Amino acid sequence: MQDPSLEMTDRMLLEQIQPGSRVLDLGCGDGRLLARLREERGASVLGIEIDITQHHAAIARGVPVIQADLDEGLQDIPDGSFDYVVLSQTLQQVLHPKQLLEEMVRVAKRALVVVPNFGNWRIRLQVLKQGRAPVTEVLPYEWYNTPNLHLMSMHDFQDLMRLLGIEILQEIPIINHRAVERAWLANLRAQHVLYVLQRQCEPHPVSQSKNNAESELESLKPGSR
Amino acid sequence: MATQQETTEARQHSGVGFVQTKLATLFVPPHWLKLAGGGELGPIQVAYETYGELTPAKDNAIFICHALTGDAHAAGYYEDDDEKAKPGWWDDLIGPGRTLDTDKYFVICANVLGGCQGTTGPGSINSETNQPYRLNFPFITVGDIVEVHSALTRHLGIEQLLAVIGGSLGGMQVLEWAARFPKQLRSAICLASAAQLSAQGIAFNAVGRRAIKTDPEYKDGEYEAGAGPRYGLALARMIAHITYLSDQSIEMKFGRRLQDHDTFTYEMLPEVEFQVESYLHYQGKRFVERFDANSYLYLTRAMDYFDLESQYGSLTNALGKTDARFLIASYDSDWLFTTTQSKEILRALIECGKHVSFIELKSPFGHDSFLIEIEQLQNMITPFLEQAYQSQLIESAQKT
């Protein structure tokens, strides 16, 4: 059975993409999203996928796909060759998320990234109460078999964007399988977040986020940071 | 043991069964072929084979471009083949229910211009002199080869090919086809190939040509049919054959095993001590039986000269005019045509926004993999062709 949140994430991504765009999907699997983008948005598409069975499945959908390892970067993709680059539920699994994000804003005008939010209250509560690595619906793995190498909260992600000089055009928290454009206490409540990113001309200096309740209150208004 | 009759019957009913090589005469003067190196050539005879049926809409044709020393016989058997004869060189891939499904597709394979297996080449008789061309044969390029094949498809009444497919020098032809006749193909499959031969590749070709030319029997190319530089040609093939293998595949196949003894003989005269030597000698010997030395010189030179980038200004210029879908594949153990070279083609195609799929296949067999790893090709090419065909059907339905 297909994960219902996948369908929802796909729909959110679809809505972000202007008709007729050129879209690159990193970790495209069997090309499901790209096939929809092509049919519903008239997009011209390309996928990157490491798994050979998924690669063939994408070809069988008529979706063009490159077999490549995201951990080796996007060096085969020329600068600015796409309007959008999509990375859905994969950033936490790559070896070098920082480099990949830089590559993404190099190859496309806009980057759409969906990540799990480690700042979610259930995770925090589990860590606090049980003193163990958390296992949740969103992160359903034990510490020793998880594909998720890098876990971040919304604040952590925002910090990295500032460090890289990448502008967050939109930040859409996903709470209980629903996209909530204006979420109260987003970093506590969101299970996932969709970011719409764009390269900025000048990188901003990094300011450390405050690790206390105060910073949660600051994030009451999305985009206020 | 199977009787001769049983073998014959089995062959008749497996794959494409019995096939025949056909001949077409093209570029009949005054419609000469204008050659890239200057000059004109005609008439040109082309040896080709076809498998499957062309649809009335003529929309299911797939053209196979063969590699350096290949021929038009890609599938099936000839009726007069003896019991030991092998089927065509890509037989596992072509036939009813196979990847190039002859129940669905019309498959064409033709011998290249300058070759020696039925198509006009240096060994053919020049109608003006009634003598073989030999070194009077004009210089030819991959572009000239593709001109002839493109003309053959038109001669068969086909405006647009569903796919052009080839590996190595065949892959170069595929790229040239996309650049030269961008509207003539709907999809292009390029295996273990490159937009230009590497300097290392040119170097190996140079050694092969030197081996041929320094054989006393070469006689400046003026050898009689059936004679010729047998040792030089065999040597050229031995060198080339090493470049088609990988370190790992040689190791797997032969290792350091000895051929006829359990221990070293400590003798200098016998040429075969190790199994790998015996194998190379055998390859060389067999090659001499089927290939012409002058053709080898012409075709390796055509390969050396091939450079899509310098010819068209840039790779994006060369490949930007076609709307064909591309499937590019390289092999991780291929050191003659590397993955890096395939990726240059990939980059150019992405840059000009083309529909392109790419994969580096894993195989121990080096450059030869595209002739050996049939299952890998099957898994990838079957759905690719299916999609190319479906999209074509949808498009033509929309037009009507």
CB contact (8 A) between residue B350 and residue A77: yes
pTM over 0.90: yes
Positive or negative: CA dihedral A201, A205, A206, A210: negative
CB contact (8 A) between residue A67 and residue B356: no
A166-175 and A192-199: which strand pairing? antiparallel
CB contact (8 A) between residue A67 and residue B383: no
H or E element in which residue B40 lies: strand B40-41
Say which residue the tokens 């153990």 belong to.
B333
A136 burial (CB, 10 Å; 0-12 / 13-18 / 19+) is middle
pLDDT reported for residue B98 = 97
Chain B residues close to A48, C-beta within 8 Å: none
pLDDT tens for B336-360 read 999 999 999 999 999 999 999 999 9
Could you tell me which chain A residue has the CA closest to the CA of B387?
A62
Instruction: Choose the closest CB to A59 out of B347, B351, B383.
Output: B383
pLDDT in tens, chain B (400 residues): 567 788 888 888 889 999 999 999 999 999 999 999 999 999 999 999 999 999 999 999 999 999 999 999 999 999 999 988 999 999 999 999 999 999 999 999 999 999 999 999 999 999 889 999 999 999 999 999 999 999 999 999 999 999 999 999 999 999 999 999 999 999 999 999 999 999 999 999 999 999 999 999 999 999 998 899 999 999 999 999 999 999 999 999 999 999 988 889 898 888 889 999 999 999 999 999 999 999 999 999 999 999 999 999 999 999 999 999 999 999 999 999 999 999 999 999 999 999 999 999 999 999 999 999 999 999 999 999 999 999 988 888 888 7
CB contact (8 A) between residue B358 and residue A56: no
pLDDT reported for residue B261 = 85
Annotated catalytic residue B367 = yes
Annotated catalytic residue B241 = no
pLDDT reported for residue B124 = 97
The 3-state secondary structure of chain B reads CCCHHHHHHHHHHCCCCECCCEEEEECCCCCCEECCCCCEECCEEEEEEEECCCCCCCCCEEEEECCCCCCCCCCCECCCCCCCCCCCCCHHHEECCCCEECCCCEEEEECCCCCCCCCCCCCCEECCCCEECHHHCCCCCHHHHHHHHHHHHHHCCCCCECEEEEECHHHHHHHHHHHHCHHHECEEEEECCCCECCHHHHHHHHHHHHHHHCCHHHHHHCCCCCCCCHHHHHHHHHHHHHHHCCHHHHHHHCCCCECCCCCCCCCCCCCCCEHHHHHHHHHHHHHHHHCCHHHHHHHHHHHHHCEHHHHHCCHHHHHCCCCCEEEEEEECCCCCCCHHHHHHHHHHHHHCCCCEEEEEECCCCHHHHHHHCHHHHHHHHHHHHHHHHHHHHHHHHHHC
pLDDT tens for A159-216 read 999 999 999 999 999 988 888 888 778 888 888 999 999 998 654 555 444 444 445 5
CA-to-CA separations, A81 to A14, A42, A132, in angstroms, rounded: 19, 17, 44
Active-site position among B66, B73, B149, B367: B367
Q: Which of residues 44-83 of A touch B (CB under 8 A)?
A: 44, 46, 52, 55-56, 58-62, 64-68, 76-78, 81
Instruction: Choose the closest CB to A59 out of B351, B384, B390.
Output: B384
Q: Which of residues 38-97 of B touch A (CB under 8 A)?
A: none
CB contact (8 A) between residue A62 and residue B327: no
Amino acid at A181: E
pLDDT reported for residue B222 = 95
ipTM of the complex: 0.90
Contact indicator for A34, A58 with CB cutoff of 8 Å: yes
pLDDT tens for A40-92 read 999 999 999 999 999 999 999 999 999 999 999 999 999 999 999 999 989 99
pLDDT at A217 over 70: no
Instruction: Choose the closest CB to A22 out of B353, B356, B386.
Output: B353
CB contact (8 A) between residue B357 and residue A64: yes
The mean pLDDT value for A118-126 works out to 87
Bridge partners (DSSP) listed for residue B138: none
pLDDT reported for residue B398 = 86
Assess B379–A contact: CB distance below 8 Å, yes or no.
yes
Contact indicator for A23, A112 with CB cutoff of 8 Å: no
Annotated catalytic residue B168 = yes
Taking phi over 0 as left and psi of -120 to 50 as alpha, with beta for the rest, B319 belongs to alpha
Chain B residues close to A44, C-beta within 8 Å: 353, 355
Q: What percent of chain A has pLDDT over 90?
A: 60
In 3D space, the residue among B102, B103, B77 whose CA is nearest the CA of residue B88 turns out to be: B77
Amino acid at A5: S
Residue B274 has a CB neighbour count (10 Å cut-off) of: 15
B44-51 and B61-65: which strand pairing? unpaired
CB contact (8 A) between residue B351 and residue A64: no
H or E element in which residue B25 lies: strand B22-26
Instruction: Choose the closest CB to B355 out of A52, A55, A64.
Output: A64
CA-to-CA separations, B263 to A153, B153, B271, in angstroms, rounded: 68, 57, 15
How many Cβ pairs within 8 Å bridge chains A and B?
Answer: 53
Domains of chain B, earliest start first: 4-198+309-399 (3.40.50.1820), 199-305 (1.10.1740.110)
pLDDT at A220 over 50: no
